[in-house]
Structure 1
Amino acid sequence: MEFSIKIYKITSFKTFDYNIKNQIQRAVLSIPFNIAEGFELQSNKQFIKFLYISKSSCAEVRSLLRICERLEYIESKNIQELIIESKNISKQLSKFINYLKKSEI
């Protein structure tokens, strides 16, 4: 959630093209929302499906961050930090997916 809030704040307080701003905010909010939604279904199979959606939202955010960098909406240094954070979240999601696949819960 902290990553989502960070991106949301950055894009809220700067001048962005509406479409990019809207898309990155929706993508970043999709990360924790899909985790919560999948968890609530109380099925590992369904939960894993929603974790994959969260993981792909991380990739979408990274792509949008690269576009923001090229359009000079966000400084390159900040972009790099955000991309690293997004990759770490993706790795955590992958590990959790693998754990759930092996789990008999």
Structure 2
Amino acid sequence: MKTYRDLIVWQKGMDLVEDTYKLTKHFPAEELYCLTQQVRRCVISIPSNIAEGYGRNHTKDYIRFLQISSGSLYELQTQIEIALRLEYIVKEDFDKVNNLSIEIEKMLSSLIYKLKQSSK
């Protein structure tokens, strides 16, 4: 592997950013400085922390950044469910973003586990 860009989990994280930005374009104007910004901030954090952790020269640092990425992913899952409950998004759009987030969640969990095993 040559770069973090080769990581499928990073690539899917970037797809999640695109999908989420498209989703939040339709949030009500009064949410611009609240839920919209919060959702966008946490979704950007997911691939960003994967990349930053990859750039660290220590496995423990990398694992820590992947854990931060996971935390941001859980935050996103909660926020898009809030948007669904407030009827800012429809179930079909929620499912698309949520399903991709669950796939990324599993990939991050697996990567963290493998890195922990290899550093023992």
In structure 1, the residue corresponding to 2:87 is in which secondary structure?
Answer: coil
- Report the Cα distance in structure 2 between the residues aligned to 1:34 and 1:5, rounded to whole angstroms: 16
Percent identity reads 37
For residues 1-105 of structure 1, what are the structure 2 equivalents within 5 Å?
1-11=14-24, 13-16=25-28, 17-18=31-32, 19-104=34-119
**Runs of 4+ that moved beyond 2 A:** none
- Report the Cα distance in structure 1 between the residues aligned to 2:66 and 2:90, rounded to whole angstroms: 30
Gaps (5+ residues) in structure 2? 1-13
TM-score (norm 1): 0.92
Instruction: Count residues in correspondence.
Output: 103
TM-score (norm 2): 0.81
Gaps (5+ residues) in structure 1? none
Amino acid at match of 2:104: I
RMSD over aligned CA atoms reads 1.1
> Alpha-carbon deviation of 1:15?
3.3
